[in-house]
Structure 1
Amino acid sequence: MTMSSTSGITRRALLGAFAATAVVAAPTYSNAAGFLRGGGDIRRIRMYSGRTGERIDMIYWVDGKYIKDAVKEVNHFMRDWRTDQAKDMDLRTIDIMAASHNLLDVNEPYMLLSGYRSPQTNAMLRSRSRRVAKNSLHMKGQAADLRLSSRSVSQMAKAAMSCRAGGVGKYSRSNFVHMDCGEVRSWGG
């Protein structure tokens, strides 16, 4: 199966390009911000959803350009699974997620706990937990809650915070990290 982007690049060509650049060392925490500004030639996101059983392993950015069809697939994957509503995710959040994943030097995909949330879902979750924000960035498609079994919440949060590109919440008791492209800040324990 080939997937074409608006520039005519096939999935096979992208995977070949990725394989050719895979020997490049992963960025260190000290140069994470440079990675977000374009230090990497290829950006890839790997996730699975325990709720839907879906998986995604997607190169979504090559040589300074987002791949329209790949971004569309990421948006669908990160939809509100309770309502089946999707929203265009803020690409800055996807970039933070991808950069953090690279910094952690893992092959394991993220487990996506929450991406986009409809206002109805957010209100329902808010009625069950005081930790859900009334004006959550999840409702704007600007946040994700993620987990890795091979890395601790502290390790994941450190990687995300080193990007200095948005908010990072540590939820140690629930074993996940919140990443968003809002104001640079951190919270939790």
Structure 2
Amino acid sequence: MTTDTSTLFSRRALLGVFAATTLTATPTLSKAAGFLRGAGDIRRISMISPRTGEKIDTIYWIEGKYIRDAVEEISYFMRDWRVDDVKAIDTRTIDIMAAAHNLVDTREPYTMLSGYRSPSTNAMLRRRSKNVARNSRHIAGQAADLRLQSRSVGQLSKAALACHGGGVGRYSRSNFVHMDCGPKRSWGR
């Protein structure tokens, strides 16, 4: 008796298996618009957290749909590690991060310095630095502070700005770039 493989594997499952074996997502600029330019038909995000020692490398979007479990995994990874509080990360921010990463053309994972911040953590950081906004997008789960060792702050911020998706802050002295899905704006040196 022969088994029809189409009953064992759906097209989506096969694509998921294929996508999980690829090293990088292929950008499809012709089908993308606005800040999604460069994110690709299969979107992947890869990060490490020096604070927790955790790593993530996941495909979170295939065939025009977000993969709920992957987005939840990203949200957990980007949690406020100080108080172990998780908030859903806005998928627009994840898209901006993925698109900027593709535009700088590297396989190096982002080093994530800050993702979601609880209000108490944000208030504590504000007391220590004038550069922390009172109503930070981090509190809303809409921002990330990222770095790449293989790319300069200037290179990474230019890629993020090219996404036309939100705020981009350059923090050259601290060697990181802030990306968020809020209004389009830029600051820093």
- Name 1:69's counterpart in structure 2: 69
Is 1:79 the counterpart of 2:76? The answer is no
SS for the counterpart of 2:95 is helix
Aligned-pair identity in percent equals 64
Gap change, CA 1:179 and 1:35, over 3 Å in 2: closer
Q: Indicate if the aligned counterparts of 2:39 and 2:102 stay in contact, CA closer than 8 A.
A: no
* CA shift for structure 1 position 178: 0.0
Counterpart of 1:88 in structure 2: which amino acid? Answer: A
Counterpart of 1:179 in structure 2: which amino acid? Answer: M
* CA shift for structure 1 position 14: 1.9
Q: Indicate if the aligned counterparts of 1:122 and 1:132 stay in contact, CA closer than 8 A.
A: yes
* CA shift for structure 1 position 37: 6.2
Q: Which has the larger radius of gyration?
A: 2
Q: Deviations over 1:50-84 (max 9, x none)?
A: 01000000000001000011011000000000000
* CA shift for structure 1 position 121: 0.3
Gap change, CA 1:95 and 1:127, over 3 Å in 2: same
Counterpart of 1:68 in structure 2: which amino acid? Answer: R
- Name 2:19's counterpart in structure 1: 17
Q: Deviations over 1:26-70 (max 9, x none)?
A: 467x99745716972100000000010000000000010000110
What is the TM-score normalised by the length of structure 1? Answer: 0.86
SS for the counterpart of 2:138 is helix
SS for the counterpart of 2:76 is helix
Is 1:148 the counterpart of 2:151? The answer is no
SS for the counterpart of 1:140 is coil
Q: Indicate if the aligned counterparts of 2:42 and 2:62 stay in contact, CA closer than 8 A.
A: yes
Number of positions where the alignment pairs a residue of Structure 1 with one of Structure 2:
180
Q: Indicate if the aligned counterparts of 2:46 and 2:56 stay in contact, CA closer than 8 A.
A: yes
Q: Indicate if the aligned counterparts of 2:38 and 2:100 stay in contact, CA closer than 8 A.
A: no
What is the TM-score normalised by the length of structure 2? Answer: 0.86
Q: Deviations over 1:132-170 (max 9, x none)?
A: 000000000000000100000000000000001100000
Separation in structure 1 between the aligned mates of residue 35 and residue 127 of structure 2, nearest angstrom: 39
Separation in structure 1 between the aligned mates of residue 168 and residue 69 of structure 2, nearest angstrom: 28
Gap change, CA 1:32 and 1:163, over 3 Å in 2: farther
Gap change, CA 1:141 and 1:27, over 3 Å in 2: same
Gap change, CA 1:176 and 1:32, over 3 Å in 2: farther
Q: Indicate if the aligned counterparts of 1:38 and 1:64 stay in contact, CA closer than 8 A.
A: no
Unpaired runs of 5+ residues, structure 2, are: 1-9
Aligned-residue CA RMSD (Å): 2.7
Q: Deviations over 1:106-133 (max 9, x none)?
A: 0100000000000000000000000000
